[in-house]
Structure 1
Amino acid sequence: MLILPSRRQFLTGLGASAAVTGSTGVYAFGIEPLYRLVVTRYAPVLPRWTPGLSLRVAVLADFHVGEPFMPLDRIAEIVDATNALKPDLILMLGDYPAGPSVTYRKIPLTDFARVVAPLKAPLGVYSILGNHDWWDDEEAQRRLAGPVQARRVLEQVGIPVLENDALRLVKDGKPFWVAGVADQIPFLIQGLDDHGLEDVPGTLAKVTDAAPVLLMIHEPELFLDVPERVSLTLAGHTHGGQVRLFGYSPAIRPVDGTDFSYGHVVRRGRHMIVSGGFGVSRLPVRLGVPPEIVLLELGSDTEAVSKTVQGSTALRG
């Protein structure tokens, strides 16, 4: 897939990386975060999956919209690339606004919602929230309650937000469930930073039959609490560590002895895929983990090793 950045992105990228010296630094600060976009494909054989249920799912995580590193025209390119994959279902895993350390100019979330509104899939587009969706909303931080602005603007353009909720869908006469939990670290106030809103048991209690479950979480640590009933858990949040070399993300510590930083995780017979997402946080750098659309081909007869189909980097005037 060829992803062509706009002239505006090219000029913005030059400005953002002008002070960085060395070819690796220029690439990590000015090329990979702004211009690379890959499609990472997974075809896992999942437990408790209905025979004959074939499902193509696009997973989008951690947009972190804001200039200069995630302007609206970059979001539009991601939307177009996602629609071109013709998924049956699109799932969005939270963290829509960028944090202040990587934002030179905030972009209103209403504008973000307008640009992602054209996402299309026959079975729908569904989302959850991440920590930045809460942290970015000063009123929600004061109230210690939602709904946050990110939820309001997404639902205004027809993208449901699942917070401790589950929805039954049907493909070719075969049902399955999409479920999403609320965020684990929504509050910045000292003493409340470990008071999450997630409710995995309550969410799964809404699943009323034996059909397979796709569970959306934002922070992958929650996977420790996900029961075997779930066929596949999908997470974001880590950005793959933003720097990933030789299959290792040094910024992300293992969780209970397991690497939850990126990719397909299998733990005690349970499956999770952690997306590297699109944006940046804290530091405006990505190296070895380019922005990605995750594409799931579920219902395959054979185990497939995940592979990345990388788009060439090109510039247009």
Structure 2
Amino acid sequence: MITRRDFMKFVGGSFASFTALGSYAFAFEPLARLSVTRYALTPPGWTPGLKLRIVALADIHACEPWMSASRIVSICRQANDLGGDITVLLGDYASGMNFVTRHVHSSEWSKALATLEAPLGVHAIMGNHDWWEDRTAQRNGRGPTFGHRALQDVGIKVYSNEAVRFEKDGNGFWLAGLEDQRALRAGKKWKRKHLKGLDDLDGTLAQVSDTAPTILLAHEPDIFPKVPSRVALTLSGHTHGGQVRLLGHSPMVPSSYGDRYAYGHIVEDDRSLIVSGGLGCSIAPIRFGVPPEIVVVDLG
């Protein structure tokens, strides 16, 4: 029979455990951890002899104390040391969270991101929060947002349904970037009944004028079922891996497909998608089992 003393020990131990887990998820993992997650693959139809290293950063959500400008600079320095041929930014630079001590202005986070370096340049797309935090863009139903302008002002190329051709060691490849799939919010305030995306997958891929492989940047992974096999790799963020991931499963994911595209390397019909767990937090400053990460992809 359990005694009152044993019961109190159990309650006290459980409380201490939950407190420790909560402190880890709230303070340590979002603030103190940074992982480098590496993938290596050769997609079908990839050009023989073309070796390309991509360094990808997603979902920064700049705000204090969680993602200050100085922390972004520190992350960028680590990204620069990873030897990427090209660096890509997968959207959501704006905070999108109320649990902050200060919102970091776009002029600050863009200046921090300007410290990124790569031989083939730094290239960006926008995310839903970059659109949602810009009331003028929401009211007008179009951009550019303050995020577009901030990145362009520091010399970072921003893709809005655009494809650009590159070469490495005499071999060509295309980088294509979609505008956000959830850009315009619904509501009476914005005179819209439904959420509206500004992405144009067909129009973007129509700009690819030869058979060189294409890498697609798409903030939300939900576009993946529509991506044709001619695209060698799709890179996405948005989900944060669910921010809480237990035994390889995320109980809550901001995706119409649930856990299907929550995190990691997903292969369907010989098509590859890599979803970054991102760097910052959205809605609540909690991460557990999916620490902030920089993604490195070696192709070929």
> Is the pair's TM-score, using the shorter chain for normalization, greater than 0.5?
yes
For 2:263, the equivalent position in structure 1 comes to 262
Separation of aligned partners in 2, 1:297 and 1:40: 11
Unaligned runs of at least 5 residues, structure 1: 1-19, 300-317
What are the Cα deviations for residues 40-83 of structure 1, in whole angstroms up to 9, with x where unaligned? 00002212210000001100000000111111111011100000
> 1:118, CA displacement in angstroms?
1.4
Alignment of 1:129-148 (within 5 A): 129-148=126-145
Contact 2:251 2:259 survives alignment (8 Å): no
Q: Which protein is bigger by CA-based radius of gyration?
A: 2
Paired AA for residue 246 in structure 1? L
Q: Which runs of 4+ in 1 moved over 4 A?
A: 253-258
**TM-align CA RMSD:** 1.6
Q: Which of 155, 159, 162 is the aligned partner of 2:159? A: 162
Greater share of helix: 2
Residue of 134, 140, 147 corresponding to 1:150: 147
Partner residue, 2:209: 208
Partner deviation per Cα, 1:162-182 (whole Å, 9 max, x = no partner): 010000000000000000000
In the alignment, structure 2 segments of 5+ residues that lack a partner are 1-16
Q: Distance in 2 between matches of 1:28 and 1:186?
A: 29
Deviations 1:238-288 (A, max 9, x none): 000000011111112775587100000011111100000101011110000
For 2:168, give the aligned amino acid: K
Count of residues paired in the alignment? 280
1:162-213 deviation digits (Å, cap 9, x = unpaired): 0100000000000000000000111123235432101000000000000000
SS of 1:288's equivalent in the other structure is coil
Secondary structure of the corresponding residue to residue 281 of structure 1? coil
Residue by residue over 1:201-236, the C-alpha shift from the partner in whole angstroms, topping out at 9 and shown as x without a partner, is 000000000000000001110111111110000000
1:87 matched to 2:88? The reply is: no
Query: C-alpha separation between the residues in 2 aligned to 1:263 and 1:297?
Result: 14
Name which of 73, 93, 96 aligns with 2:70: 73
Distance 1:196 1:152, change over 3 A: same
Identity %: 50
The equivalent of 1:13 in structure 2 is: none
Aligned partner (choices 99, 120, 131) of residue 117 of structure 2: 120
Residue 94 of structure 1 contacts residue 218 of structure 1 at CA under 8 Å; is this kept in 2? yes
Task: Trace 1:30-41 onto structure 2 (pairs within 5 A).
Answer: 30-41=27-38
The reply on whether 1:111 has 2:112 as its aligned counterpart is: no
Corresponding position of 2:299 = 298
- Find the residue that maps to 1:82 and give its secondary structure: helix
Map 1:15-54; keep pairs closer than 5 Å.
22-54=19-51
Aligned partners of 2:19 and 2:258: how far apart in 1?
Answer: 36
Larger RCO: 1 or 2 (CA < 8 Å, sep 6+): 1
Cα shift at 1:297: 0.9
Residue 61 (1) aligns with residue 62 (2): no
TM-score (norm: length of structure 2): 0.90
Question: 1:101 touches 1:281 (CA, 8 Å); kept in 2?
Answer: no
**Do the aligned partners of 2:242 and 2:254 also contact (CA within 8 Å) in 1?**
no
